[in-house]
Structures are given as structure tokens and as C-alpha cells.
Structure 1
């Protein structure tokens, strides 16, 4: 391992030494601030260099999300022929220009630097010079403490080793546990933010289940392996987690995945600022929806008093025929007797209706003998 990553030991140690020389102008050269900020600056420098890979990761992740329905169809179609299934998958990747490993590029590119930093701090803990860290810098780094914990110690180190570096085992374990918890929480929130805000909710795919599983697996991995990391490595990993969280929040807000919750929120912000012009098709769809809504409006319901007035008016006109009565056979001039009887009956019904409504009674005319 030392032979393969030897050049990286020199690169990582040289970067730390340069930052340490700068921060020694502000803080004590043996302080944890000078060495801790040197590690933080190393993270920032590496992550800035990895921004192009992060952009590729975002594009690859979106392409994989878009391909999930087609991938699922291939799996269902060739579920009994694994070889044909793999061939069709590779064909699909080639046609769409998608690389499944692109989403892992930032992690893969960062891993050698992470391992190199781990080995550099491990050499410091053992009192060995490494790379550009000579004897004087080695003694300075061993004296550096962050909140009472030396940079080179781990949670699992013995009390004798911790005391030899001028610290107590309790302080070391409290600091390491707090940093491990912060690492796990930052990783969990980063993954949860990706799942709840930047995933197309209109498509349910196995990819979403995988992301949901990773949301719980990664924090557990940090908690398990974190107890074996030196404090300096915990500083490195916590810083890179916070950087990832902030970088992802920026990307999700400015360039969210279409169909996601973040995309809808961004559209609303642009619409409120007047920067989003609706497409003609959307405008026509809204007009059609409003017209359909207007046609479905129910007539206004009349009050009880209006209904009573309307009923009284109809009852007060007993001789008026409806259009249905006019069209019935036997009505009109050709059937005078029936018409007279209908008028008489209508008159009597109208009189009774008028009496029930409280209207004036019709005077009775005496018949002529």
C-alpha cells in the first residue's frame, strides 16, 4: 500500500504543510487550530477540484432515473435469460450514453486522498516522519489538540497512548463520539434531501428503493467505521460531508430534477418573480378548464318566499293553458263543450287554490231561470 500510494503521501503531506505554514501566521504553530484548519483546507481544495466530477455525477444520476422504467421492462422481459438481460442493459446504456459508474466518480476519486490522509495521520501517531512532514513538524502535529483530543488518536486507542500525547481518554472519546454523530446526521440529511426533494415522484422505480436503503446504510457505516478513524480523519470526513450537503442544496435549488418537489418549488418562485412565462399549450389548457368549470355551474337556489310567490301566480291564472294542454287532441275551437268544462273545472280549482292561499273568493253569480 505504501509503495502504491507513496506519491500521494507526499502530495497530501505537502498540501497540509503549506496550509500549516499559512495558518501559523495567525495561530500558534503547535495548536489544533493551525493543524485542524490545514486539514479542512485540504478538503476544500480537493472538493473544488472534484466539482466537474460532481456535475457528471448529477447528470448520470438523472439519466439513471430516466432509464429505470426501460431497465425494469428489460428485466421483466428477459428474467429467465441473465446473459441476454445484461446485453440489453449494455445496449441501452450505449444508446443513451449513460455510464452507471459515473454516479460513483466523486467518491472513487476522493478515496485515494482519504486513504493517504489516514496513513499520514497514522504515521504521525506512531511518531514516524512521512512525506514532507519532517521531525520538527512531526512533534508539532503530535502536540496539536482539537477540543482536548490529539489529531492522531482514535476512539479505540488505549489510555496509556492517549496520556502519552498529553490528553485524557474521556476527552478523546467524547470528541470522537460527537464527531461521528455529526458525520452520520449530515450524511443522513444529505441523502434524505435527495430522496424527498430531488426525485421525480411521478415514476416509481427500484432506483428510489435503493436510494432509500442507502439513506440508512451510510450513517450506520460511518458510526461503525468512525471509531477506527483518527480525530484528524474525522475532521476531514465531517468537513467533506458538510461540503456535500451545501453543494447539493445549491444544486437542488438552482437546477432540480424535472418532476420533483424542488422543481415545482422553483417554478413557483420564478412565477412569483414574473420570470416564468407559461407556454401557449398551458394557457389554452387553463382556458378550457375554466370554460368547463363555468358550464358546470348549478342554477342559484330560490328562497322559500320566491317559490311561494311563483306558486301563487300560477294558481291565480286558472284559464291559462300550458303548451302541452294546447297540443292535446280535443282542445281548441273544435271541442267547445270540453273547453267549457275544462274552464269550469279550472275555475273551481282556481277558486279552491285561492281560498287555500288566503286570496279573495270569487263571487257566485245566481243562475238565471
Structure 2
């Protein structure tokens, strides 16, 4: 009766874990696979470009408001129509393409040439920037605010005065004259990756000095942003006084209205899981920054310099860089090495970053050797298991010692079954006398937890893993196994819910874990035995929605553990004999219980 009760309890607990886990993940941390890729989907209720009123005291207040004429906010502009406007300056660099809008001198059209929307080869490049007022808007603008003089606004039409095509070898310069003696110039350059350099210059040919404040901002909608979860930050991001600030999300900024970042700003912008747009100020003068909610899911990251006075006949220049591209770890680190503080840490590796980042470097190295990230994960697993092998040997030695003292433990349990404190005291004394550490067998499991989580973060964050195939049906190691058994591997036209989306890899995980538990010595507690029998299949359901690369790691680890266990059993005949004896005793007990039930009928 007790065994039946324990079995029912184990099943109930497993069901609670399975369904509770799925409910919690879907409620609080939705599956990223359900998210629309950043800036790739449409919204139905996003108004057009906001009418931003200029404030007369914006220089003194230290906050930027960019002038603009009121527009019909009930109209959502079409991306293709906006990009068909005349006079746009073409961008054609090795990794980015797009245009600069001469109206407002905005960088509002950026395509990432080397990254596709989906795993399909013909799915087209990722669109990162899109014009203001469209349903996927994200753009950058550079300008000035002034005291008592006309400065360029969002409706100002700039003239191209140098160059006609922005490439990594040919810059482009735009100019605008306010008719009051001041000429404003913007020189755009781009490197072979994703970094734009924008030189802002104002020449004062008037009769008196003028007061100006240079600024830059990145604006975007949050409706097409990747979701921020407990372990992956998506949203406003800044490097302030030498440290990364992951504190703010879109909801926080909306609640505050304006968030003034404290200290000196090394860079500021917005991040998704894979993409980032960030402004890096002029190193020579420094700058401050803020995040601003514009309402209706629109936000800005403002970068502004100290006000300057431009004397008659003088000029002022500020150089601001704009990163608009993919968060490739090697590239971000290279920019950091070139002087952009903390830029490599824009990828939020989290608490286990000290493991995740080195693990990622090893994966990249292995990928360079084998040419397949799936094979690289398998090689990494072999390396990890080899490093942990001495610890596994100690674990098995501890298991053998524990098995040797089992008769004495059972005698103590019988003797002190009515005196729990005394039983615990005597068991501690037994462990000490026999030099047995009951927790030694748990050490490899505890060591695997940070390794497993670090690999999970790597598969989730590293864009280099995005759309990386393995073999056969596994076309994206960073996505779940697409071969679902319940829909006959795609033959039936429906997609099972997350916790029932069991694929081939999940089944292999359950089977290898079951075999691994079978090789372990049987637990003395019947409840533990039943839990160990059920747990592999519970984990099969729990792990099914995770990235295929993570399941490949775990399956490989299980297979290596099976081989390791057989080897260590061969080296410990006492443990192997005891395990066989336990199994025989368990089988005889099951037969006796079966016979007793038959007689009871």
C-alpha cells in the first residue's frame, strides 16, 4: 500500500512539475520562438511620426526636443512607399545596405546583408532600421538645438554636397544653410561592418556668436522588440562611468517618462537579443544621455553634448558613432579593444558569464576545426566530460562506500526508528567512522548545472549560432527540434503545444537518461526508486521546447556517462556485484508482491 501511495505521489508531483513549468514559462517568460523577429512584423495600431514640440529652455534643461510639424497620427505609413521618396542617399557597405533620408538627414533604412529573416535561404535580409511613422520604425538622427537661431528640424531637407553613395571607402556629406549666417554639415562614413561615423559641424559666418547644443538620438518602437526575460535583457541599454546598465526596460521608461542617465555616457541605445543600435559620443568631449518615452510604444535614446558658443567666423565639430547591426561577439570585442568601453559586454552573458564566455570561445575554435556547430557541441561535451572524469571516479568510489555501509544503516534505522534525532546522530557517526561522504555523489551534478546553463545562454544569445544547421532535419541549433512526433513529423497540419512538442531529440534524451539511471545502484528508498523511474520521461517533456543544440549536448553527455559508468563498474567489481544483487532482490520482491495480490483476489 505504501509503495502504491508513493507511486501515485510521484506521478502527481511529476505532473505538477510538467504542467506547472509549461504554464509558468508561457505566462511569465514566453517562448522566444513565438516572438516576431526584431523589426520584421507589422503593428495595426501604431500612429505615424510623433509631433515633437520644441521647448524654449531645452538647452538649460539639458533635455532635447526635436521640432516637427503635426501630422495625422491615425495613418501608419508604408515602408516601401517611404523608401521610394526622391533624393535618398544609397548605403552600400560590405555588411549593411540602405539609404539616408535627406529630409531630416535621418539614417532610417538599414538592411543587414549577412543575416536572414528565417532559416530559409531566400527569406531576405534582416531589416534593422525603418522610417519614422511606419509600423516597424527605428532610425537615428543627428542635429543641434539653438538659442535664438534657426536649427535643422525633422522636416529640413538637406543637400548632398560631397559624394553620392555611402560605402566603406567613400563618405557622404550633407549640408543645410539657415539663411542667418550659419551652415550645418553632416559627414557620414561607415566601416566594413556596422559602425557609422557621423561628423557634425557648424560654421558661423554671421556677425555675432551663437549658442548651440549638438545632439543625436536613436528612436524606435518597442512593438517589434524581442521580449526581455529574467535571463535575457532586451530594451534600453547604456554604458555609464565604465559599467553596463541593464536596469531599465521599456515599461520602466514609459512609467518614468524621461530617465536621465547618471554620470558620463560611454554609449547608449537599444538592444534586442541579436541586434543593437547604439550611439557612441566623441571621446574628446564626453556626453550625457537619457531614455525617453514618446507614448504609444515609441521610445528614444538621447545623446547630448554640453552647450557650446560658436564665435563669429568660427566653427564647432562633434563626432558621434552609430552602431547599427548584429551583436557578433568577436566584432563587439574588437570595437571594445579599439576603445569603446564595455562594448563587448553588450551581450548579457549573466551570472555564469565567467563560464559562458570561455565556453563560447572554445565552441568558436572547435567550429573552425570541424565546420559544424553541432559537431562542435559534441566535441565540447567530450572535453567537459574528460575534465570531470576524475570527479566521476570519486563519485563512484563514494557510491561503493555507501553501498558497503548499507547493512549497518538499515540496522540503525530499525534500532532508532522511533527516535529520529538519535538516528541522525548515529548515522553521522557511522559516516565519520567509515569515512563516507554522502554528498560526494552530488558533486558532478552541481558542477554540471552552471555548465548546462552557460551553454543554454550561449545558444540563446550568440547570433553566430542563429540558423546554424546540424544534420538532417536539424536546420537551426538555436531553435527547438522541429520534428514533432505527435504530428507525424509534419505530415499532420497542426503544431502541438510546447509541452507536447516531443521531438526525436527529446525522446533520445529520455531514453539515454533512463538507461543512465538503470546503471546507477538502486536507491534504498522505494519512493526514490519510483521517482528515478519517472524522472527521465518528465525531463523529456520539460526539455522538448529547448534549443536543439542544448539537447544534443545533454544526449551526448548521457551517452558518455553510460560509457563511463560501464568502465568504472569494470574497475569496481564490488559495486557491480552489489548492483546485480540489488536488482535480483528487487525482482524477487516484485514477484512476491504480485503473488500476494493474486492470492488476495
What TM-score results when the alignment is normalised by the length of structure 2?
A: 0.34
Give the aligned partner of residue 556 of structure 2. Answer: 239
SS state at 1:14 partner: helix
Would you say 1:21 and 2:346 are equivalent positions?
no
Give the aligned partner of residue 446 of structure 2. Answer: 108
Instruction: Say which one has the larger Rg.
Output: 1
* C-alpha contact 2:356 2:455 (8 A) present in aligned 1: yes
- 2-side partners of 1:248 and 1:208: how far apart? 22
Would you say 1:184 and 2:184 are equivalent positions?
no
RMSD: 3.3
1:50 to 388, 402, 412: 388
Structure 1 residues 15 and 40: alpha-carbon distance in aligned structure 2, compared to 1, 3 A threshold: same
SS state at 1:51 partner: helix
* C-alpha contact 1:252 1:262 (8 A) present in aligned 2: no
Would you say 1:67 and 2:67 are equivalent positions?
no
Q: How does 1:339-350 map to 2 (within 5 A)?
A: none
Structure 1 residues 258 and 41: alpha-carbon distance in aligned structure 2, compared to 1, 3 A threshold: closer
Deviation at 1:239, TM superposition (A): 0.1
- 2-side partners of 1:255 and 1:42: how far apart? 28
Structure 1 residues 257 and 211: alpha-carbon distance in aligned structure 2, compared to 1, 3 A threshold: farther
Structure 1 residues 189 and 258: alpha-carbon distance in aligned structure 2, compared to 1, 3 A threshold: closer
1:151 to 469, 474, 477: 477
- 2-side partners of 1:186 and 1:58: how far apart? 19
SS state at 1:151 partner: coil
- 2-side partners of 1:193 and 1:99: how far apart? 21
Which sections of structure 1, spanning at least 5 residues, go unmatched?
A: 25-33, 128-137, 158-167, 200-205, 265-369
Structure 1 residues 39 and 56: alpha-carbon distance in aligned structure 2, compared to 1, 3 A threshold: same
Q: How many residues align?
A: 222
Structure 1 residues 115 and 99: alpha-carbon distance in aligned structure 2, compared to 1, 3 A threshold: same
> Which structure features the higher share of strand residues?
2
Structure 1 residues 108 and 263: alpha-carbon distance in aligned structure 2, compared to 1, 3 A threshold: same
Deviation at 1:257, TM superposition (A): 2.1
1:182-241 CA-to-partner distances (Å, cap 9, x unmatched) read 12112222322445xxx7xxxxxx627467435413312321222132100000000001
2:420 to 48, 68, 82: 82
Would you say 1:249 and 2:596 are equivalent positions?
no
What TM-score results when the alignment is normalised by the length of structure 1?
A: 0.53
> Which structure features the higher share of helix residues?
1
Give the aligned partner of residue 38 of structure 1. Answer: 376
Deviation at 1:103, TM superposition (A): 1.1
